[in-house]
């Protein structure tokens, strides 16, 4: 059960924490304190990763910054959930691959 997911990157080099997410109609970064001023974190997980994986993850995130938010996918998620209430299984008919993202898909 969640309403939003994101990834927080700690940058020792810049003495900042970056929040990477799909929101506000696109994939974007927020500075950690600005994000916290408008959002309540309910649950978080901390992972230790090696420097090469960290670099590759940041590069992946930068390359996707600005990709549109998958608004149509939200309607597809609702469609799938409604069908499941009646015992039917379906894939999201509005999935659009890597051309747009919702937060959980991006993370």
Backbone angles phi, psi at 50, to 5 degrees: -70, 160
Residue 67's pLDDT is: 94
Residue 98's pLDDT is: 83
Which residues of the chain form beta strands (DSSP E)? Answer: 7-11, 16-23, 26-31
pLDDT of 29 higher than 90: yes
Residue 47's pLDDT is: 92
> pLDDT tens across 31-82, in order?
999 999 999 999 999 999 999 999 999 999 999 999 999 989 889 989 999 9
Residue 81's pLDDT is: 92
SS3 101: strand
User: What is the number of other CB atoms lying within 10 angstroms of the CB of residue 21?
Assistant: 23
Per-residue pLDDT band for 97 (boundaries 50, 70, 90) equals: confident
CA atoms within 13 A on the CB side of 79: 11
Residue 95's pLDDT is: 85
């Amino acid at each position: 059960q969640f309403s939003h997911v994101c990834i927080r990157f700690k940058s020792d080099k810049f003495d900042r924490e970056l929040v990477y997410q799909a929101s506000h109609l696109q994939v974007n970064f927020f500075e950690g304190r600005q994000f916290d001023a408008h959002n309540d974190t309910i649950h978080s997980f901390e992972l230790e990763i090696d420097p090469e994986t960290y670099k590759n993850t940041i590069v992946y995130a930068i390359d996707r910054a600005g990709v549109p938010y998958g608004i149509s996918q939200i309607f597809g998620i609702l469609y799938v959930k409604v069908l499941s209430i009646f015992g039917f299984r379906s894939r999201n008919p509005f999935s659009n691959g890597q051309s747009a993202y919702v937060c959980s898909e991006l993370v």
